[in-house]
């Protein structure tokens, strides 16, 4: 799929920077994008996006210093400068894109406020679908972050065609601060979504036996609401050359970088697998992807639709395995629409991605809404306890009204 990414705010900008860096590393041209911020220093921290594709907005209002955690101002700035934003997107070229993906951390100010505004306008202007990748904050980041994320997310689900959620708290390790985990979390996000959004693009191995094209991703996400992504990886059987296995280093690979090498749960292979084994391996991998840690932990049985994608060296891809995996996913989700296919890549690993779309229940979202409600009540109470309250009922007249 050819994707136009827009990174809004600091988290969104860093993610889009990484998506585009990954694309460049692969020598591919599937992804393009721009980044937008109200803080000049955040834009300067971007590494792989040319200066002309970094847009500073809200200069008259916040003078390049950012909106802090005020997402209402974030939304206002975006609305005021929507023409400048759309011109920057147009300048980068939109005629051949299949979808827009707006990335943002929903707990802050710029991305949290700006991304729903941008999605609304993109949807009005372009025919292509507009998706959001929204990062939700860990409760430890504070109630204001939860309140911001709850307000942003509940607006975003009405403005974007689908919101794929990543939960910072589900992915950081115990004892680790969210900030110190950013880089690792971002790698996880970009790896999963990179494989997903790249599906259907021609690799150097041509197209797969069971191609997933962009219309299938679009149809899977068609129901709107929120979605989550599962991922699992396993070592591929070494390619044989002259009766000897070619080492993974030698086999190098276009996508080995994408699929990732450091995954702890890699299952080593002992034997060269038969067709049956290949199929069983794919089914096992897809089950692990769906039952393992999702970008947003949720009850997968409430998903309306799903997409199963198996990426790996052509010798490992197996039509029967993909078909059986799709049936297994279909038995386990609420809806009956499960799409799927394979994506041949040059890699020492096989990866399965499961997109669970339009989820009916996610405890973390309910918790977020609850935290936000408490935070809102707290704001009202603190207003009532304002520093001028002690002067209000003293019966003393002010000097002038």
In this structure, what token pair is assigned to residue 85? 């934003």
CA distance 248 to 167: 33
Q: How far is the CB of 339 from ligand GDP (least distance, A)?
A: 28
Pairing between β-strand 240-241 and β-strand 244-245 as defined by DSSP bridges: antiparallel
Q: How far is the CB of 15 from ligand GDP (least distance, A)?
A: 7
Enumerate residues 6+ apart whose C-beta is below 8 A from 162: 129, 131, 132, 221, 222, 223, 224, 225, 226, 227, 357, 358
Site string for ligand GDP, 85-114 (x = CB under 6 A): --------------------x-xxxxxx--
CA distance 31 to 186: 17
Window of 6-14, 154-162, 237-245, 363-371 that interacts with ligand GDP by CB under 6 A: 6-14
Choose between 11 and 132: whose C-beta lies nearer to ligand GDP.
11
Choose between 108 and 313: whose C-beta lies nearer to ligand GDP.
108
Query: 206: which DSSP letter?
Result: B
Choose between 38 and 214: whose C-beta lies nearer to ligand GDP.
38
Whose structure tokens read 């000897």? 244
Choose between 109 and 238: whose C-beta lies nearer to ligand GDP.
109
Would the annotation count 109 as a binding residue?
Answer: yes
CA distance 246 to 252: 10
Q: Which of 23, 53, 81, 141 binds ligand GDP (CB under 6 A)?
A: 141
Site string for ligand GDP, 148-187 (x = CB under 6 A): --------------------x---------x---x--xx-
In this structure, what token pair is assigned to residue 233? 């990886």
Output the DSSP codes for 362-398: -HHHHHHHHHHHHHHHHHHHHHHT-TTHHHHTS-PPP
CA distance 83 to 108: 23
* Secondary structure class of 80 (helix, strand, coil): helix
Choose between 75 and 308: whose C-beta lies nearer to ligand GDP.
75
Contact indicator for 227, 193 with CB cutoff of 8 Å: no
Q: Which of 5, 6, 10, 282 binds ligand GDP (CB under 6 A)?
A: 10
In this structure, what token pair is assigned to residue 50? 């040319």
* Secondary structure class of 162 (helix, strand, coil): strand
Would the annotation count 13 as a binding residue?
Answer: yes
Q: How far is the CB of 135 from ligand GDP (least distance, A)?
A: 5
Q: Which of 19, 131, 145, 300 binds ligand GDP (CB under 6 A)?
A: 145
Choose between 55 and 210: whose C-beta lies nearer to ligand GDP.
55
Q: How far is the CB of 43 from ligand GDP (least distance, A)?
A: 10
Would the annotation count 110 as a binding residue?
Answer: yes
Output the DSSP codes for 335-347: SSEEEEEEEE---
In this structure, what token pair is assigned to residue 118? 């941008």
Choose between 129 and 137: whose C-beta lies nearer to ligand GDP.
137
Residues in contact with ligand GDP, total (CB under 6 A)?
20
In this structure, what token pair is assigned to residue 306? 């799903």
Q: Which of 26, 135, 351, 359 binds ligand GDP (CB under 6 A)?
A: 135
Would the annotation count 168 as a binding residue?
Answer: yes
Choose between 58 and 348: whose C-beta lies nearer to ligand GDP.
58
* Alpha-carbon distance values, 123 to 102, 109, 132, 393 (Å): 12, 22, 12, 52
Contact indicator for 348, 294 with CB cutoff of 8 Å: no
Contact indicator for 321, 280 with CB cutoff of 8 Å: yes
Q: How far is the CB of 288 from ligand GDP (least distance, A)?
A: 23
Q: Is residue 134 within the footprint of ligand GDP (CB under 6 A)?
A: no
Would the annotation count 14 as a binding residue?
Answer: yes
Q: How far is the CB of 294 from ligand GDP (least distance, A)?
A: 15
Would the annotation count 76 as a binding residue?
Answer: no
Residues that constitute the known binding site for GTP: 10-14, 109-111, 141, 168, 186
Task: List residues forming the annotated binding site.
Answer: 10-14, 109-111, 141, 168, 186
Residues lying near ligand GDP in the complex (CB under 6 A) are found at: 9-11, 14, 105, 107-112, 135, 137, 141, 145, 168, 178, 182, 185-186
């Amino acid at each position: 799929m050819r994707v136009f990414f827009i990174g809004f705010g600091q988290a969104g900008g860093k993610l889009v920077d990484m998506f585009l860096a990954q694309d460049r590393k692969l020598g591919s041209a599937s992804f393009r994008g721009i980044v937008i911020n109200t803080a000049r220093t955040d834009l300067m921290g971007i590494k792989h996006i040319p200066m002309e594709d970094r847009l500073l907005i809200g200069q008259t209002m916040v003078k390049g210093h950012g909106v802090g955690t005020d997402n209402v101002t974030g939304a206002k700035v975006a609305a005021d400068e929507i023409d400048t934003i759309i011109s920057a997107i147009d300048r980068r070229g939109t005629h051949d894109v299949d979808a827009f993906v707006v990335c943002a951390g929903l707990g802050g100010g710029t991305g949290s406020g700006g991304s729903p505004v941008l999605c609304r306008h993109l949807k009005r202007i372009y025919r292509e679908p507009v998706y959001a990748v929204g990062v939700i904050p860990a409760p430890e980041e504070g109630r204001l972050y939860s309140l911001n994320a709850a307000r942003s997310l509940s607006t975003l689900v009405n403005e974007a065609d689908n919101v794929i959620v990543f939960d910072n708290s589900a992915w950081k390790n115990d004892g680790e601060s969210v900030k110190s985990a950013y880089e690792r979390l971002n790698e996880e996000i970009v790896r999963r979504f990179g494989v997903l959004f790249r599906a259907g693009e021609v690799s150097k191995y041509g197209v797969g036996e069971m191609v997933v094209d962009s219309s299938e991703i679009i149809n899977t996400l068609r129901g709107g609401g929120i979605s989550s992504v599962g991922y699992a990886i396993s070592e591929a059987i070494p390619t044989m050359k002259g009766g000897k296995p070619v080492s993974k280093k030698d086999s190098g690979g276009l996508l080995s970088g994408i699929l990732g090498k450091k995954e702890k749960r890699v299952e080593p292979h002992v034997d060269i697998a038969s067709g049956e084994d290949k199929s069983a391996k794919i089914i096992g991998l897809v089950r692990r992807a769906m039952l393992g840690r999702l970008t947003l932990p949720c009850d997968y049985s409430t998903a309306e639709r799903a997409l199963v994608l198996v990426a790996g060296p052509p010798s490992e891809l197996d039509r029967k395995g993909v078909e059986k995996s799709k049936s297994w996913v279909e038995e386990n989700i609420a809806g009956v629409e499960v799409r799927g296919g394979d994506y041949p890549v040059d890699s020492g690993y096989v990866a399965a991605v499961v997109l669970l779309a339009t989820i009916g229940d996610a405890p973390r979202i309910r918790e977020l809404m609850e935290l936000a409600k408490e935070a809102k009540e707290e704001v009202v109470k603190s207003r009532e306890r304002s520093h001028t309250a002690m002067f209000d009922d003293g019966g003393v007249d002010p000097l002038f009204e």
